[in-house]
Structure 1
Amino acid sequence: MTGTTNPICPAAAEIRNTDWSDTPLGSMDSWPPALSTMVSFMLDANVPVWLAWGPELTFLFNDAYRPLLGDKPHALGKPLKSVWGEIWDVVGPLIEQTLAGESVYIENALLRVERGHGVEDAWFSFSYTPLRQDGAIAGLICSVWETTGQVLARQAQDFLSQLEEELRVLSDSAEIIQLSQRRLGEHLKANRVGYGSVDVTERFFITDNNWTDGQVDNFNGTHDLAAFGPEIHGALKRGEPLTVDDVNADPRIEEGGQAAFAYLQTRAALTASLVKNGRMIAAFYVHCRDSRKWTSADTHLVQDVAERTWSALERAQAQHALERANRELAQRVEITTRDHDRLWRISQELMLVADHSGRITSVNPSARRILGLEPDAMAGRLLTDFIHPDDIDSTGQEIEKLAQGHTTLAFENRYRHADGSYRTLNWTAVPFEAHIHAVGRDVTAEREANKALRDTEDALRQAQKMEAVGQLTGGIAHDFNNIIAGIVGSLELMSIRLGQGRFNEIERYLTGASGAAKRAASLTQRLLAFSRRQTLEPKPTRLTNLIGGMLELVQRSVGPEIDVRTVATDQVWTTFIDAGQLENALLNLCINARDAMPTGGTITIETANVGMGREEAARKGLTSGEYVSLCVSDTGVGMAPEVLERAFEPFYTTKPIGQGTGLGLSMVYGFAGQSGGAVRIQSDLGKGTTVCLYLPRYAGPDIPEDTAPQETELPLAKGKETVLVVDDEPLVRMIAVEALEEQGYTVLEADDGATALRVLEMDRTIDILVTDVGLPGGINGRQVAEAALVKRPDLKVLFITGYAENAVLNHGHLARGMQVLTKPFQMEALIERVSDLIALK
């Protein structure tokens, strides 16, 4: 069991260090294989999983599940019922159902759980699956996701949508406030909810007619916010949401503040202040007479209700102001008729008046210029007689809103011109008594210009995509044609020489064909790196150690006329990467830097720790967090802006034909992205270039200072074991089988996952499984291995893959006794990996 647990997994360490002899499970050494396998599976899972085993359903769980326990007392190794006793009336029957042999799946179940802070409502989706030992059900395993956040968010959204609809029909400020208070109080099951304004000093809060559930008093009137203490008052003035779970336990609240809350019969409070133009103008508060654990969902909800209430009040005030202005306008109509008529006649915009049914009563003369219609011809007709058929429904809805007293701003529809074409009009309209007054601006030319611009931009983007695809495919074809020509030519000459009996020249052609094949493999790896599909084997790596081990190789590669320098920040963080691929990337960057300095110069390799905020990270295409930077700078010729823009494009190179593939920087770009990082270039003509890789910091345990493997050259031992080779490519399978048989191994073979499983079901010894990851028939190599390990826990596994199937390979996290080998590979590498795995105890 010890060998199957993840050494850096806290849950694995806790299980390993627990004395199980006093539990129904007994000592770990005596655990049945099925239990050990499922515990290993559980610990490898990156989602919350627990399992219960034995007569008392002894409880075990992984690290992802631990947060769901909260602050519960120690649960590992306890009977399941004692851990979750408070919800046993709900889950107990489901567990009995599972132990009877039936799997269970429940979605968004409401459970009242106790996680160290009192009973709380929480929602979970989970599945129960029975576990068997020797054909009998010995326990169950559960995958579980807490969905409380999603459920509360959905409930909050439904609540806010309903509140928005109810507020929309109100125009009285007191009714708006009363509705918001009551609905929020009932939703949160609070004792008191209130909304109020703040005076210009931002100190005195005035609330009137707040809502209560009848268990506390109203306490309407003016309240001194300073009485609650400087921290509380300061947070409110800054617009920060204030949550107090327990007045008596909150360190921000001094004795005077506690007295103020006690006077208000309040033990827990949540307040959202509204700060507009730098000043606190109002606040929405929720009070409970008992302590309460507020959630972030509660905070966001109260903030949203406060903003919506304020907006509804602003709308009501604006509507009242508009109505008042309309009334005043009506009183002055007789005085201003002459000016109105003048404006009506000379306005360049279309002005019309219609009743609430949409029938036009009058139109200004601009109708001739904009629509080619006489105003008298439009009067008395419905607006819909002139509107584009596709815009009739939306226009009808807007007329209904105006009839209900709402103002229209920036509404657009299309009107038919006398010549049969359509004009797009942008409308502003207000309701006045029984009529609608509207002003329409002709924006047809503006919209057509915008559409033409968008079409041009789309065409340009499409052309750029096609150019990139053409360049990529052309570059691949060029390089592979050269390689294929070398291979085909060598094979043809070998055939001719064999026919002539000239065997002494065969080795030269074999060397040429082999070299061309290796160049093809290298090109494929560069393409996979660019497309982020190469298979990576990441591990914790210190860049200072890696760079130090490469300095001699870098110096030899760039030549004596180039001075190579290193600059390292003290205690550079560890990063989690494929060290071999990073070495290739670093060597590529140094060779590019050398080529940019034909007369010599200086290459500087610099590492540093970098913490990035959200904005800086976004500029680099990353998420905020901690990164390790690796920068390679040169003092060379630099790049022109047009070259810099295309630097990462595949097969783009400024070097002479035959001196560069154009895949170096694109490979570095793809490797950095696949590793969770990014790469950026800064360059100035005549001043040099700096290329920086940003790689995520590794958050796991420290690694030893000297992690370089000790290379030894030992002869490979002849094998006597049995190997199962699974690959759907006959030629690859044939070569692998013959190479292993020459080493003395007994080799079985299969061409797909289903056949491999049938072979593994046979009653014969199989020591190692060598399988391709991508297999036909719906069963991949990882699934074959997992199924085999259930009955053959000591089976060693070597995965073979042609490109990045990391998701299938558990994102590079392989258990002990498993390795991965990337195609194409030499037979010596295959034999060495098999030998190493068999030797592993």
Structure 2
Amino acid sequence: MVQDDAASRTQALHDKVLELEAQVAELQLKAACQDVLLQHMEEGFCVLELLEDDNGQVHDYRYILSNEACLRHTAHAKQMGQTARELIPNEVDTWLPRFAEVARSGRALQFEERLAATDRWLSLSVHRLEPASDKRVAVIFTGMPTAQVSVHRLQAINQQLAERVDQADANNKLLGELVDHSLANVFAADCNLRLLAINRTAQETFLRLRGFVPQVGDHIPQLLARQPDIMSQLAPVWPRIVAGEAFVDNIALGPPEALRHYEIRYNPLRDNRLMIQGGYLFAYDITERINEQQRLRKIETALVQSQKMEAVGQLTGGIAHDFNNFLGSILAALESAIQRQDEKRYPEAARLLGAARHDAQRAAAVVQRLLAFARQQVLTPQPVDVHQLLAGMRELIINSLHAGIDFNDQTQPGAWPVRVDLSQLESSLLNLCINARDAMPSGGTLCIGSANQTLTQEHALSLDLPCGDYVRISVSDSGIGMPANVMQRASEPFFTTKPLGQGSGLGLSIVYGFIRQSRGQLQIDSVPGKGTCIDIYLPRDDTQVAVPPALPQPPPPMPARTANLIMLVENQETMRLVISEILQEQGHDVHAFGDGQHAVAALQGGLQPDLLITDSGLPGGLVGQPLGNSLPETTPVVFITGYTSEQPELPTARRFAVLHKPFELAQLSDLVARMLAGTPLSR
């Protein structure tokens, strides 16, 4: 039994010895192959051991393995066991930091470096050998003489330059194609306005609109000698461009019936040294954009005007009722005054005439405000006193309300000024009042208030406004209110809860748009069954508000009698009679006519008036030119009109004035005196 165990162990040891001998033979073969490979390879190979000083700092390295190619490339007869400071003491600091970094980090490194000792360029690949604690690196490299490297480098540089030139040519060709096919008209010229470049779009534009094509080298002032509209635009801006300024301008070219609008982007043209050599411009045809903007403005104006007309229609009933009251009191007062005059009770007659005059002034004020409100006009932001505006609107608002609706004015004096279009704000507030009225079919209370308010950061953020000072205008009612889903859509265009034909759905949306354009905000708060409150926030404006014209004053004393010939053309008999009486009372020689045809005949018959007073709405009157053509340009003219926006078209040399109906007799007398005296007029 013991013998069998010994035999088996002996056999196992024998097998192990054979296995180890085979492994040794394999390793010897590999070593021999590696040695042959290392010694016959063209690349240099070496293993370096990094050496540390007493402080643990790497200060040198030792060759512990190298092949024949390594000796050839480095020209060292013996390397094994030697250190770099022994072989290349002046170059150690060039190589050592790189080898040390690879040993420390484990990251392979490829680089090129010149070995000064042999004047050869080496291309090296450095790798760390494990374990890292041995601080060893393997280096594989090739070398060539410096002259040969220079040739190779020049070839590489030439190849790179050729590739760059090809790429630049391709880029320039692509850029040229893009510029040529751009929608913009592109021009470039030198400082003396000689054309350097023009793209295809610009050539086609010139050919289509001007009948010729500019060519590179053309002198632009000579080229455009017969195109003064273009040259007049270019001449003033070119000095700015060659002075280094870049800017954008909009111009219009061509006759009115074929006007084209362009956005021009001007830039100086600089060379590689940033010296200015001329300028270039991109001209974009924006005619369609401008036309579309004009169409939108017309639509917006029409919408605003329709809103005004809708509001005027809502006011008609109240205005008619008030005018019946005015006319009734005026007629009664005049009839009573005539009776008192017949009875020679002159003081009582004068008092009654004064009452009639007062009601006539009130009626005139309502008409003037209604006409001013309804007329079309250009929107012009201006400083507005909200308290003063609401006070002036009081009668219009009250006239718009049904019986059973109380009006509560809670506006506070001392409101900060705001900068808005006065007419549009007035229209917006009246529209809100009409909406509030319609929300109270069974009666209730309409309340208008205004107050100064400084918005905190949190409050302003909730309103989507910058924090700061605002004037808040509130319009509230005690009507039916709105549910949440209706309130969210209330400011949408064309959304309305009114029956078909009773509302366009544009009113509140236009108000909202106007308030937002005025840098403000509109906020709606409504509870079904309790009512609605709409708050308008408008930013404070520190510009001084213009002082409104003063109320009519008692007539001044009659001017001294003069002797001037005045032609009066008025188709309303009563008005013609009253004006004639007043002017004759002042000593003027008045020739009155009921229509323009008889007036023209009188002028052609030799009548030479010092002043013409005419109703501007007469058939054949000055507006129609026949009467005006019969007058010398030195003859002044006073137009009488019942329309607030009417302005006659006259030669600029003629002196004229407009008197709006109804007017005070004192206004007429004062205006006639100033026209005859040549006193300057303010319009």
Task: Give TM-score scaled by structure 1 length.
Answer: 0.32
Structure having the higher Rg = 2
Task: Give TM-score scaled by structure 2 length.
Answer: 0.38
